[in-house]
Amino acid sequence: MRGIEIKEVSKGYKDTKALDHVSVQFEDGKIYALLGRNGAGKSTMLNIISNRIFPDQGEVLVDGKPARENDQVQQNMYLMSEQTLYPAGMKIQQAFQWSKEFYPKFDMEYAMELARMFGLNTKKKVRTLSTGYKSIFKLILALSVNVPYLFLDEPVLGLDANHREMFYRILLEKYIEEPFTIVISTHLIEEVASVIEHVVILKDGKIVKDCATEELLAGGYRISGKKEMVDIWSQGEDVIGTEMLGTMKTAYVIGSSKEKWKKAPEELEVAKLDLQKMFIQMTNR
């Protein structure tokens, strides 16, 4: 079976449980968003999958094989993270060449073309790069390694709007040309909403939502009106959050039916929920 399976994985740091018996699958050839507030366990999960750290319990399987200390499996995945794992004094072009030693399918020509497109001087040393260009350097590496499983942890940190848009476009072009598994961990939720196919949301080290993006968005509504009316109409719904302003109430629901809200009285204001608002309400409760 192709794909990544995380089975009952836990990881703790002193008094903090970063991951608490987490089980999730990342299927072959899909684009995922891994969402959560700071400290929810996103980076810990990605670091465990990529063998940078090890779980206290549980296991990770890649294409049915254990990922732990398995070099063959690790060559099939790449994690772009906040860390820059290249010597500070190394030139960008040298770093590209170095990457080919670890990832045989690394496309040097493509990396140089991306550097030109992003305006990255490949003769510069890693330590001289600004925050934005360090991110660009790491993105180019990630886009050029050509592995079946790509993990991007806050990939657009420090990038301006033009470069962010360029990155998403290039990523989608690459995916459409030959689908592979992409997991994006980001706080810029609305920017990735149109790109991703599946959402995994972490809260306090546990998964609170794991479903197709389209399915999640289809059933999300914001219901506003007099408290009594909102309470009646939201009864039996999966209410992920509420807000009060005087006698007026707003309820946020997911997994709901479009047909039901077509029949709602005029006194109720019914609107669709976007992914960011859903995320905020799910992780606030």
Per-residue pLDDT reduced to its tens digit, 160-205: 999 999 999 999 999 999 999 999 999 999 999 999 999 999 999 9
Beta strands per DSSP E along 83-237: 149-153, 181-185, 198-203, 206-212, 221-226
Q: Which pLDDT does position 5 carry in this prediction? A: 96
With the CA atoms of 144, 150, 153 and 158 taken in that order, what torsion angle do they form, in degrees rounded to the nearest 10? Answer: 20
Claim to verify: residue 29 and residue 102 sit in the same structural domain: yes
Claim to verify: residue 119 and residue 182 sit in the same structural domain: yes
Claim to verify: residue 257 and residue 208 sit in the same structural domain: no
Q: Is it the case that residue 140 has pLDDT exceeding 80?
A: yes
Q: Which pLDDT does position 69 carry in this prediction? A: 78
Claim to verify: residue 129 and residue 270 sit in the same structural domain: no
Claim to verify: residue 137 and residue 227 sit in the same structural domain: no
What share of the chain in percent tops pLDDT 90? Answer: 88
Claim to verify: residue 76 and residue 181 sit in the same structural domain: yes
> By 3-state DSSP, what share of the chain in percent is helix, strand and coil, each rounded to 5?
35, 30, 35
Claim to verify: residue 232 and residue 191 sit in the same structural domain: no
Question: To which H or E segment does residue 26 belong?
Answer: strand 16-27
Q: 134: helix, coil or strand?
A: helix
How high is the mean pLDDT of the chain?
94
Cα distances (Å, whole numbers) of residue 83 to 34, 40, 131: 18, 19, 12
Claim to verify: residue 132 and residue 239 sit in the same structural domain: no
Tell me the CATH number at 72: 3.40.50.300
Final residue belonging to a domain, choices 160, 193, 215: 215
Claim to verify: residue 199 and residue 265 sit in the same structural domain: no
User: Which range (20-24, 101-105, 122-126, 210-214) has the least confidence?
Assistant: 101-105
Claim to verify: residue 201 and residue 260 sit in the same structural domain: no
Final residue belonging to a domain, choices 155, 186, 215: 215
Q: CA 160, 194, 280: angle at the middle one, nearest 5?
A: 80
Q: Is it the case that residue 229 has pLDDT exceeding 80?
A: yes
User: Which token pair is 214?
Assistant: 């389209």
**Total domain count, the chain:** 2
What letters, b where the CB count within 10 A reaches 16 and e where it falls short, cover 84-93? Answer: bebeeeebbb
The confidence band for 85, taking pLDDT boundaries of 50, 70 and 90, is confident
Amino acid identity, position 34 = L
Tell me the CATH number at 271: 3.30.70
Amino acid identity, position 95 = A
Q: Is it the case that residue 98 has pLDDT exceeding 90?
A: yes
Claim to verify: residue 136 and residue 261 sit in the same structural domain: no
Q: Which pLDDT does position 284 carry in this prediction? A: 87
**Closest C-alpha among 203, 213, 169, 219 to residue 283:** 203
Neighbours of 16 (CB within 10 A): 12
Q: Which pLDDT does position 39 carry in this prediction? A: 87
Task: Enumerate residues 6+ apart whose C-beta is below 8 A from 5.
Answer: 25, 60, 61
User: Which token pair is 232?
Assistant: 């009646």
Q: Is it the case that residue 27 has pLDDT exceeding 80?
A: yes
User: Which token pair is 187?
Assistant: 């706080």
CA distance 92 to 86: 9
CA distance 121 to 143: 17
Final residue belonging to a domain, choices 172, 196, 215: 215
Q: Which pLDDT does position 71 carry in this prediction? A: 80
* Strand partners for 62: 4, 65
| pLDDT tens digits for range 235-246 | 999 999 999 999
Across the range 79-104, mean pLDDT stands at 91
**236 phi/psi in degrees, rounded to 5:** 85, -5
Amino acid identity, position 76 = N
Claim to verify: residue 12 and residue 150 sit in the same structural domain: yes
The whole-model pTM stands at: 0.93
Cα distances (Å, whole numbers) of residue 36 to 128, 169, 214, 284: 32, 24, 19, 11
What is the span of the domain harbouring residue 34? 3-215
